Structure 1
């Protein structure tokens, strides 16, 4: 017999937390600078993305292959595929 508490042990203070999996935090990256989108201030990055195509994949942070035609752009990530958009006039 062991002295360690188990999830079914009514004497344990919080049986619901035993063996619990910590929550998964989705990490996304800034399409302009490539840093974590959840940390820091990306106001300048958002302004830049209005007039320039993205440089980094927001899912994996890889550099994108960018094709630009006038105000239209398309960017391809090796892992996550293609995205496209329209730029504002600078």
Structure 2
């Protein structure tokens, strides 16, 4: 299983020298769906409904809110 390498909100690398601080991203993600695949950095197709959201990566499939 691959681990998350990229921020699913801004698309930048997690950790390391170029990763920066993603505190603002974590705060925002509490209220909004992911926009980038955390494994490959592809922009995802996101659908928001009153019941929740789904986000689909063409390479890694679909994730949904719980």
Q: Give unpaired runs (5+ residues) of structure 2.
A: none
Query: CA-atom RMSD, angstroms?
Result: 1.5
In structure 2, relative to structure 1, the CA distance for the partners of 1:52 and 1:27 (3 Å cut) is closer
Structure (1 or 2) with the larger CA radius of gyration: 1
Alignment check: 8 A CA contact 1:53 1:73 kept? yes
Larger RCO (CA under 8 A, 6+ residues apart): 2
Deviation (angstroms), 1:71: 5.0
Structure 1: 5+ residue stretches without partners: 1-25
CA offset digits 1:33-81 (Å, max 9, x no partner): 0000112100000011111111000000000000111251100000000
State the TM-score, normalized to the length of structure 1.
0.63
